[in-house]
Copies of this chain bind each other. A is one copy, B any other.
Amino acid sequence: MSRPSDDIGTRSDTSRAVAFSDAVFAIVITLLVLDLRVPEVPPGHLLSGLLGQWPSYAAYLASYTYVAVVWLNHKGAFNRVKESDRGLHWVNLFVLFTTALLPFPTAVVSHALQEHDQQDQRVAVAFYALIGALLCASWLAFFHYLARRADLLAEEASERHFPAERIRALVGVILYAAAGLIGYLVAPLAGMVIFVVLPVFYALTSAGLHQVPLVHRIAHRPPTSGR
């Protein structure tokens, strides 16, 4: 508390940033359902209409899982942060920006798979990949900022954590870019499959790639532990 009074408002604990971020993630994850629409079919065709919307369901599942993983990542990162400053707020707002965009490419993909030709589907999958990669890039900026600001970290946090996390974010950028290329050049559906699978990769590694002694930790868990 020895900081000068003109620092009020620029450096502070992270509680409001966390609460604000939680609200944004909660809204994004819930807004996705607004793109699941009642199918506009003539009477008697509701069942086929609902079944025909499967691309919407797949896109919803991919984006829901993605946002869920982003939230878990965010929680894991801020557990290691003691204090936030202006710069951390802005990289955090960049992460929120790219996450809040996600419902848009989700709607574009599910729409294109239902009503457009294959050329449009390639475009839609590439567009989703672009925003997905941008989201990973915002995490890269976020981790890079914290990798250089040890003074903001909690005491228990390992200083090697955030430098290592950058690699995981970079891998994400590359994987989404690859999914976009495959979806655009090879087959849109192949891109879609990767979009559903990619968040699972992130979910499994969200404890941090650098935590090598995984076996050690698993051994310390009760045998019934689910992951």
Contact = CB atoms under 8 A, between A and B. Distances in A.
Given A25-B20, A64-B97, A9 B104 contact: no
B158 A103 contact: no
B38 A79 contact: no
A131 to B, nearest CB: 11
Counted per complex, copies of this chain come to: 4
Nearest to A45: B120
A72 interface: yes
Contacts of A71: 20
Contact of A26 (B24, B76, B119): B24
Given A9-B75, A76-B10, A79-B8, A87 B30 contact: no
B30 A120 contact: no
A32 B148 CA distance: 33
Interface size grouping (class) on chain A: 35 or more
A222 B28 CA distance: 35
Nearest to A74: B16
A50 B145 contact: no
- Chain A interface SS verdict (over half): helix
A40 to B, nearest CB: 10
Interface of A: 5-10, 12, 16, 18-20, 22-34, 36-38, 43-47, 50, 64, 68, 71-72, 75-77, 79-80, 85-87, 89-91, 93, 96-97, 100-101, 103-104, 107-108, 111-112, 115-117, 119-120, 123-124, 127, 145, 148-149, 151, 154, 156-158, 203, 206-208, 211, 213, 217, 222, 224-227
19 contacts: A6-B213, A9-B79, A9-B80, A10-B76, A20-B25, A20-B71, A22-B23, A24-B26, A29-B100, A33-B103, A37-B107, A38-B107, A45-B120, A46-B123, A72-B89, A85-B225, A87-B227, A91-B226, A149-B225
